[in-house]
Amino acid sequence: MRHLTTSLAALTLAGGMAATAQADDIRMGQDLHDNNCVSCHADMHGGDGSDIYTRDGRMVGDREELVAMVRRCDANIGTAFFDDEIEAIVAYLNDEYYGFD
């Protein structure tokens, strides 16, 4: 029984650490998005640019397509994000607009 309790405690701790890491990724992704993406999206769609994510006929249908779209935007604006930054932006957009995971 003690082994089970220890295992459950370890899983709970690991789950909490994963949730914290996910929240950190989302915050970093939001900062990167707000500082690098919003102005272009606002120019394209007006307002705060969020219509690009919620409009009818949006071009992103799953997480893989979302990663590809963020990579295309990164290349188009020349930000040269690192892979962890791309993943953070994807985590933010997925959490805020898409809900694929």
DSSP 22-45: HHHHHHHHHHHHHHHTHHHHHHHH
Q: Assess whether pLDDT exceeds 70 at residue 79.
A: yes
pLDDT category, 65, cuts 50, 70, 90?
very high
- pLDDT value of residue 21: 64
**Is 75 a domain residue?**
yes
Domain hosting 86: range is 23-98
Q: For residue 88, which of 31, 15, 38 has the smallest C-alpha distance? A: 31
- C-alpha radius of gyration, the chain, whole number: 17
Q: Assess whether pLDDT exceeds 80 at residue 7.
A: no
**Is 8 a domain residue?**
no
Dihedral pair phi/psi, residue 52, rounded to 5° = -60, -30
Residue-wise pLDDT tens digits, 10-42 = 555 555 555 666 888 999 999 999 999 998 888
**Is 3 a domain residue?**
no
Count: domains in the chain = 1
pTM for the structure as a whole: 0.78
Q: What percent of the chain has pLDDT over 70?
A: 79
**Is 16 a domain residue?**
no
